[in-house]
Each structure stands twice: as structure tokens, then as C-alpha cells.
Structure 1
Amino acid sequence: MDLILWRHAEAEDFAASDLARALTTRGRKQAQNVAKWLRSRLPDDAVVLASPATRTIQTAETLSDQYRVVRELAPNASAADVLEAAGWPNGIAQTVVIVGHQPTLGHVAAQLLGNSNASWPLKKAGVWWIASRERDGGEQAVLRAAISPDLV
């Protein structure tokens, strides 16, 4: 399975509620650029899951109009929530893109790649691409790519 953790792009600081915060003009450009990078690498049957927050939905929409909003991926979700939604390590699909939030995505990456309870920093619109594999009779997580929006 390939698990792609994509943090939402830059969003406005204030709105009627946290879930209502929308992408800024800069955030839209970030999301579009990263989506272009991802689109050229993703299989056609990749599953895209987004938090119910406006900013994550807007980020996901730059990649595909075929995405699912998953309530359990809302801000302050746990790493376990993300892994369960994706079906890690076997996957609900071979490739799952999670469009979500910090510090949750940082917790997922630290848990899978570092066996740590820390939250690793992930820049807005940044991506971690993690693959699961079996090695020596056990499951492993392998970092395939880590990219920030200013590098695409």
C-alpha cells in the first residue's frame, strides 16, 4: 500500500469557524502545483480522503473531483483515525491520499517511520509518501518521497 499524507495548503487565519477556513490565493496556487506533481505519479484508482474542513476539501479538489470527506479526519484527529480510514497497512485501495491537518499527519509519519509518538513538522501543502512492505516476516513503512510546495 502507498499512503500519501498531504497537508492542506495555506488557509485564511479567521473564519466563522475553524472548519470554515478557506484557502488563500497563495494556498490555491500551492495546492494546484502539488496536485499537478501528484497527478503525474498517482495511479488512476487512487482513493482520496479529505477532512471535512473547507481548506482540505479545496486542497483535495485541485487533485480530483473523486474524493470522499471523512468526518474522522477532522482537525485534531488521532494517528489511529487516519490509519484506520486508510486501512493501513493493507489499504482500502493500493494508493490512498489523506488530505488533512497538523499535528495529526506529523503523528502518523512519526509513528510509521520513526516508531515515535512525536509529531513531525509538515509544511502547508507538503506531502509525505509512505509505502508499506513486508520484510523478514514483519510490516515496514518506507518513505518514498517527502516534498514541500516550494520544490514542485
Structure 2
Amino acid sequence: MDLILWRHAEAEEGDPDMERVLTAKGQKQARRMADWLDAQLPDACKILVSPALRTLQTVAPLGRKFKMAAELAPGAGPHDVLRAANWPNGKEPVLIVGHQPTLGQAAALIVAGRPQPWEIKKGALWWIAQRDPKDPDSLYLKAVMSPDMIVK
């Protein structure tokens, strides 16, 4: 199974938190990452997105169908992310568009076996794969990508 953890792009500060919008820089980050992802993701990828406006704006340039998942809202825990994705037993790749610190904690839980304060930068993603859900040795980090690494 492939699990892609994509942190929302740069957003404005303010309240209410769920209604924060992307900055101009965040919109550029989202477009760059969406272009890169569109070329990499298989057609059968399931996309789950936090209901926060900034995550919806981050995924929009990808132009693919997605499902809003309340369990990915700010304040969710790393186990919530893994449950939503059906990690590691899912049959299709899953892209999660969410928030820090949850995504970094989920990455640490998968790779290191326990939640830790790993940081995923704004607009960046971690792509984790496991060939066999029963074989922890089949786990590998497929990609770590940030918008500033993508040359246009």
C-alpha cells in the first residue's frame, strides 16, 4: 500500500481556524505540488482531505475527485490518519491532505513505530509504501517532496 501525507500549503493566520485561506505563496505551493503529484499518482488513488478550507484549497489544483474526512480535521491524532487510510491493509494508494503536527506524527508512527514530533513543511509531502502489510521489512520511504524542489 502507498500512503501519501500532504501537508496543506501556506495559509493566512486568523480565526476561525477552519476558515483560514491560502496565501499567494500557498496557492503557488499547491499548484506546484499538484502538478508533480498528478504525474506520479495512479488513477486509482483514493484522496481524503481535512474539511478545513486551507486543505480544500491545497487539493483543488490537483483536479481529482476527493472525499472530505472529518476525522482529519485540525486536532486529529496520528492513529486517526492511519484508520482513515486503512493503513497498511488498504488495496489502493491513499493521499491524505491534512495538518501538522498530525501528519508528522503519523509518518513517525509508521516509520519509527511511535508518534514523534516529525515536521512536514507547509505544502510538502511524504510518500510511504509497504509492499506487504504483514512484513514490516517491506516498508520504505518512496519520496519526500516539497514545492520548492519542483522546477517550473
Provide TM-score, normalisation by structure 1: 0.93
In the other structure, the counterpart of 1:87 is 86
Residue number in structure 1 paired with 2:94: 96
Structure with more strand by fraction: 1
* Equivalent AA in structure 2 for residue 57 of structure 1: L
Partner in structure 2 of residue 19 of structure 1: 18
RMSD, aligned CA = 1.4
Q: Deviations over 1:32-54 (max 9, x none)?
A: 00000010011111111100100
Gaps of 5+ in 2: none
Aligned counterpart, 2:30? 31
Q: Any unmatched runs of 5+ in structure 1?
A: none
Cα distance in 2 between the residues matched to 1:100 and 1:117? 16
Larger helix share, 1 or 2: 2
Residues 98-113 of structure 1 correspond to what in structure 2 (within 5 A)?
98-113=96-111
Q: How many residues align?
A: 149
C-alpha offsets along residues 4-30 of structure 1, whole Å, 9 cap, x if unaligned?
A: 000000000114x00000111110110
Percent identity over paired residues: 50
* Separation in structure 2 between the aligned mates of residue 54 and residue 141 of structure 1, nearest angstrom: 32
Distance 2:21 2:64 in 1: 17
Matched, 1:7 2:4: no
